[in-house]
Chain A
Amino acid sequence: MTALLSTTHLTMDFGGLRAVDEVNLEVRQQEIVALIGPNGAGKTTLFNCITGLYRPTSGDIFVQAPGAAPKRINGLKPNQVTALGLARTFQNIRLFPHMTVLENVMIGRHCRTTSNILGAVLKDRHTRREEQETVAFSYRLLEKVHLDRYVNELARNLPYGAQRRLEIARALATEPFLLLLDEPAAGMNPLETRELDDLITRIRNEMGIAILLIEHDMKLVMNISDRIFVMEYGKEIAVGTPLEIRSNPRVIEAYLGADSHA
C-alpha cells in the first residue's frame, strides 16, 4: 500500500522554540490515522505545516495522490495544497458565519470549478451548468452529513455539533483523498461524538478518503483508528495500532506523568 502523505524529519521552529521536532509521519490509502498527545505537543503545528499555513524549518513533506507521482509540498500555498487533494478542518471552527450553510459548502467547490470573470458576466452555458452542478454537489454533501434541513440557514446559527459537521462537509467539497480533522469531537456531547464516529467511518468506507485526525477523545480514537501516532514536546514518541498504543509505557507516562506507572 502506498503512502498518501509522508513527512521525513519534519521540523518547525518558532524562534528558539522547536514546536515540531524531526517527525516522520505516514498516512496510507484508506487509512484512519489518529494523532494524539498532550496539549502543546505540536499536533496542530504539524497540521499547519502539512496544509501550507506554515513553511517548515526543515524536513520534507511528500504527497502522493492515488495513481500519481509523489510530490514535495514544502512551501506550497494552502490553496495549492488543497487543490492537490488535502483538505482540513480547524480546531476552533472557522466557517464563514454570515454565509448560508449551502454557500459554505459551495466555497469548497471553488478549486474544482473553473468559471472566470467573463463567464460570470455573460452567464454562458458552461457557467450556468457549472453553477447548477456546484449546488447539486454541495447539497448532496449536506445530505451525507445530515445537514440538509439547515440548507438556507446562516452558518453561525447552527448548533455547535452541526457546525463541526458543516466544516467536514465543506472540506469534502474540495474532493480530497486525504482529510485532516483537527479535534473534530471537541465540545461535542456523547451522542454527537457517536454520530461523528459513524460519519468518519462512513467517509472512509463510502468515499475511500483517508483520514488523519487530531483528537483528545480516547474512546473515539481507539474506536476508529487503524494506527495512532503519539507526540510529546514536538517529538513523535510512539506509533502503532490502538492495542499497542494502549499498553505502550512511554505513552502512559506522557499522559499520566512519570510517577504513576506503578
Chain B
Amino acid sequence: MTMRKLFTLDEIKKSLLVALWFMVLTFPILAVRVNPIYKVVEWRWHNLLMVGIGAFLLSFPWRYFQGHGKPPEKSAAAENQALKNSKILLWRRHPWVRLCAVVLATGLVLSFPFLFSSYQVNIMTTALIYVVLGLGLNIVVGLAGLLDLGYVAFYAVGAYSYALLHLHFGLSFWLCLPIGAGLAALFGILLGFPVLRLRGDYLAIVTLGFGEIIRLVLENWNEFSQGPSGISNIPRPGLPGIEMSLNASSIFLYFLMIALTLFTILVVSRLRDSRIGRAWLALREDEIACQAMGIDKTRTKLTAFALGATWAGMGGVMFAAKTTFINPASFTFLESAIILSIVVLGGMGSMLGVILSAFILILVPEYLRAFSEYRMLIFGAVLVIMMVFRPQGLISNVRHRYRFEGLKTPPEELG
C-alpha cells in the first residue's frame, strides 16, 4: 500500500466505518454517565466525537503499517539469501563489532551500580531475575513446546525452600541456592508425570491448576509456611567474614544476579544446541514422528520440565534473598502470566528476544510509575499490538539452526 493509495475514497470509507464502530463500542462507557445524586443521565457527546475522530485518524497509519508488516511468503532460497545479506546479521558477524559490543556491554554492566542509585540497582536486579525466569520458561514453552501456565509454582518452591531452610535449620544462602534449584526440579518432575499425555490447551489448564495448588497450600498451611503473613527476616547473601552495608549488599546481589544470568545463558544455549535440545525441538514439531525416531518422549518431556523448573527455583532463592520477606501473594497467576508474556513477546525459542522482552516488560512499568493506573491497560494494548504486527515475537527467524559448512572444518553456527 503506497501513500497515495491510502487516501482513496475506498480507504476513507473504511476509516469512517472504523470510527463509527469505535463510537458504538465506547458509547456506554464514554458517552453515558448516570448521576445517582440528581438522578439524571448526562450525555457526553463531545467524548464520543473525540473517539470518532481519533479512531478515524489512527486507522490510516494502522492499515498502512499492517500492509507493511506482512511481507509476501518468501521461498526458502530467497529467505536464505535475505538472511545472508541481512545487514544486521553481517554486522553481528563482524569480529570488530562483536568485540566492541562485548566491551561496551561489560563496561556498562560493571559500572552500573556505581553510576546509578541503589533504587535503580534494585530494579535492575529484579529485571535480571525475570530474565532468568524467562530463559527457564523458554526451555519448556519455547523449545519443548509445552505450554506451562503454572511456572510461578517453581519460583515459589525456590523462594520458600530458602526461607524455610534458613528459618528452621539456619542454612546459608549459598547452600540453599542449589537445594532450591534441586527441589524445584523435583517439583518439575512431579508435575511432569501426570501431564505427560497432555498437550496444548489441556496441559495449560493442568499446569495452571498446579500453580494454584502450590500457592493455596502455602497460603493455608500455617504450621508449614506461616500462611499469608509470610516469612520475614530472610538474610541477604553475604560472604563469610565480611560485614556489608545495605547498599553494598544490594550491589553484591546485583553482581550475583549478573553471574547467574550469564550462567543461565551459557547453560541454556548449550543445552539448546545439543542432542537434548534437538530432541526438544523435534518433540515440539511432531510427537509421534519423534517417538518413531527413537526419542523417549517421557524422558525428554520430564527433562524439559525439570530443567525449566531449576531456573525458576534459583530465581526464587534470589528473590527471597533480595526482598528478605516472602508471602504467597508474590506467587499469583499474574506472575506466571508475566513470565509467559516475556517468552511470547520475545519470540518463542529466541534467547535474545526473551532477554530483551524481560527488560522491556519489567523496566518500563517501573519507570512509568506515574502512569501506574494505566499499567494493565498499556500492557494489554502492547500485547494486542504485538500480536497484530509481530505475531512471531520481537526477535524471530533467528532460531539456531545447525548450519552445515562442509565435513572437514568444524561446523559453525549462524547467530
List A residues at the B interface (Cβ < 8 Å): 51-53, 77-79, 82-83, 87-88, 90, 94-100, 102-103, 106-113, 115-117, 119-121, 123, 127, 130-132, 134-136, 139, 151-154, 157, 170-171, 173-174
Contacts and interface: CB of A to CB of B under 8 A. Distances in A.
B415 interface: no
A139 B403 CA distance: 12
B395 to A, nearest CB: 16
Interface stretch (B97-105, B205-213, B276-284, B359-367): B276-284
14 contacts: A53-B291, A78-B291, A79-B294, A98-B281, A99-B281, A99-B401, A103-B401, A106-B278, A108-B293, A109-B275, A110-B293, A130-B275, A139-B407, A171-B293
Interface residues of B, number: 37
B170 interface: no
Contacts of B289: 90, 94-96
A164 B293 CA distance: 15
B391 interface: no
B196 to A, nearest CB: 12
B288 A94 contact: yes
A85 B303 CA distance: 25
Contacts of B290: 96, 107
A107 B276 contact: no
Contacts of B296: 77, 79
Contacts of B282: 96, 99, 107
B411 A135 contact: yes
Contact of A157 (B76, B277, B411): B76
Contacts of A131: 274-275
Contacts of B410: 132
B292 interface: yes
Contacts of A157: 75-76
Contact of B275 (A78, A115, A153): A115
Contacts of A79: 291-297
B80 interface: yes
Nearest to A101: B404
B270 A103 contact: no
B267 A98 contact: no
Contacts of A100: 401-404
Nearest to B349: A98
A157 to B, nearest CB: 4
A172 to B, nearest CB: 11
Contact of A51 (B286, B292, B303): B292
B292 A78 contact: yes
Nearest to A120: B274
B79 to A, nearest CB: 8
A117 to B, nearest CB: 6
A78 B298 CA distance: 12
Nearest to B297: A79
A110 B275 contact: yes
Given A96-B281, A157-B75, 15 more contacts: A82-B292, A82-B293, A87-B292, A96-B285, A100-B404, A103-B281, A103-B402, A106-B278, A110-B275, A110-B278, A113-B275, A135-B407, A135-B411, A139-B404, A154-B76
Contacts of B275: 109-110, 113, 115, 120, 130-131, 134
A152 B80 contact: yes
Given A88-B292, A100-B402, A174-B294, A121 B285 contact: no
A77 B291 contact: yes
